[in-house]
Amino acid sequence: MSTIKAPVDPTTCPAWKALAEHKQALVADGISLKDWFADDPERVGKLSFDVADLHFDLSKNLVKDETLGLLVQLGREVGVEERRNAMLAGEHINTTEDRAVLHTALRRQKNEAGSLIVDGQDCIADVHEVLDRMYDFSDRVRSGAWRGVTGRGIKNVVSIGIGGSDLGPVMVYEALRPYLDGPAVRFVSNIDPNDMAEKLRGLDPETTLVIVVSKTFTTLETITNAREARTWLLDTLIDQGAINNNPEARADAVRHHFVAVSTALDLVEEFGIDPENAFGFWNWVGGRYSVDSAVGLSLILAFGREKFEQFLSGFRAIDEHFATAPLEKNVPALMGLMNVWYVNFFDTGSHAVLPYSQYLHRFPAYLQQLTMESNGKGTRWDGTPVVTKTGEIFWGEAGTNGQHAFYQLIHQGTRLIPADFIAFVNTPHPTRDVDQDVHELFLANFLAQTKALAFGKTADEVRAEGTAEWMVPARVFEGNRPTTSIFGKDLSPFSVGALIALYEHITFVEGCVWGINSFDQWGVELGKQLAKQITPAFDDDEALAKQDASTQALLGYYRAYRTWDGRSGSPFDRDSGV
């Protein structure tokens, strides 16, 4: 059992009481960002920070100097700095699983080997041993030295995983598409057979490499999909006459076309993968914190070792800032504490992340797992109930698409929704429309939205446009909708790594205040257990009888309308376009 001390009840802290009184005073005086900006010419300078090639403007948040001072005081009273240091030192702050939390070790430099010994393990040395093996393997694939069973080089990679074994690599792959110079990667996560069917469509098994990503090699969705991919590969190779249909040839094909990210070498070998081609990671790396571990093998294959090193450097820059900067100047800490301010004092329930870069279109989905699986909990790390509201519903969409979908609610709805806007100065595809720089037109929207949300539009301004009086209320924008602007120079491997680390540490800080263990995920277990119990009931009447009335009725509907018995091959022809 972990010996980590019990969490502090934040509601008993002097800063919490002071923040509640401060909030009441702000409301009584009238919260007005327009006035706050006018009253404090230094506001933008005081609330702007530059870290790891990213520029942060926090000035459009609903905070004043006193607010931030009290939030920092709260962070100190609940022990954010002490818990941060405990995490970085390898103490078992994941209490329910009695584990260290060391995703930050994944980006420490090789020359630091020997400086982080946890539970008898030289963590940094082990990280770089696996990293070097991944680099060597990637070099062989990218150079053509690694060849498939028929002697042809690898052109496509299929990465099979789910949750943290998929969301991170997919997001980063999409974000860094302009840097792609290796094999193209397709990602399969959903156990829905349609996902696999579409991802395999058009691939040549002779030039395809499959990565199976599962630490335990028992994840139901991943192993089911891996077996399906193996069947596809072998059946297609045999049908094409590329290999003989005998056990030796089939085993040889699997060894040439499948590798694993797993520590369960016995199960890897049983599947048919050479254990030499398995790359592991450790129980102190949670799935949603693992994209920079062996889980990122597909990224090294796609972009190469140099770009992956830049990616790790971005993580490291934010890690070092978070570990050393005082809370008053610590950007992840300030952003995390402001999120607490909104959740617990403004009763906000959700948080929008709005990247003005199409390449970051999967970033909100990635953050959903990172933040909601981490902090969506009602129990503190010592097993006692939480004493405040916890967690935020993270969501978003790439701009300007979101402007034409849900910004109406953010601007004029009755719910206060804090939002993070992310954009980059430079684009890999500069374009002009006649005399207009299209990227600047795009960025004008990025800048305009935060301005509109902050300062709004008054009734008098609407009237001055000649609007009929009865229409004036519908065209008023109240403003005072909080936003943070994150502006980068380029969307690069470095900046993507920095963004991920930023939100990892924001999530950590929120968990500290709420007393939550942000590194377990027991809430995902019950559904998986019940799925195993329900599966036999599709065909077995005895199993069906054990289900509740609603589940029985739904299974009855399935039985009435299914057109395939699941035993006699696929009901669809993969090449039919169905």
Q: Which residues are catalytic?
A: 373, 404, 528
Phi, psi of 457 (to 5 degrees): -150, 125
Q: What is the largest CA-CA distance in the chain?
A: 83
Query: CB atoms < 10 A from the CB of 434, how many?
Result: 4
Collapsing DSSP to helix, strand or coil, 357 comes out as coil
**Residue 529 identity (one-letter amino acid):** Q
Could you write out the DSSP letters of every residue in 182-201? S-EEEEE--SSHHHHHHHHT
What distances in angstroms separate CA 71 from CA 84, 376, 409, 456, one per listed residue?
17, 21, 28, 26
Nearest Cα residue to 369 out of 130, 164, 573, 122: 164
Query: CB atoms < 10 A from the CB of 550, how many?
Result: 8
Find the angle CA(294)-CA(298)-CA(304) to the nearest 5 degrees.
95
Q: Which residues contact 310 (CB under 8 A, 6 or more apart)?
A: 492, 493, 494, 497
What distances in angstroms separate CA 223 from CA 34, 287, 505, 568, one per listed residue?
56, 16, 32, 21
Sheet holding 393-395, edge to edge: 48-51, 54-57, 483-488, 419-424, 350-355, 393-395
Q: Which residues contact 559 (CB under 8 A, 6 or more apart)?
A: 538
- How far apart are alpha carbons 529 and 507 in whole angstroms? 28
Phi, psi of 266 (to 5 degrees): -65, -40
Please answer whether residues 315 and 51 qualify as being in contact, where contact means their C-beta atoms are separated by less than 8 angstroms.
no
Radius of gyration of the chain (CA): 26
Handedness of CA 121, 123, 124, 128 (dihedral sign): positive
Could you give the count of Cα atoms lying within 13 Å of 387 in the half-sphere of its Cβ? 15
Handedness of CA 401, 402, 406, 411 (dihedral sign): negative
Please answer whether residues 261 and 279 qualify as being in contact, where contact means their C-beta atoms are separated by less than 8 angstroms.
yes
**Residue 322 identity (one-letter amino acid):** F
Q: Give the total residue count for the chain.
A: 578
Question: DSSP code of 370?
Answer: I
- How far apart are alpha carbons 563 and 578 in whole angstroms? 15
The tokens describing 517, both together, are: 């263990």
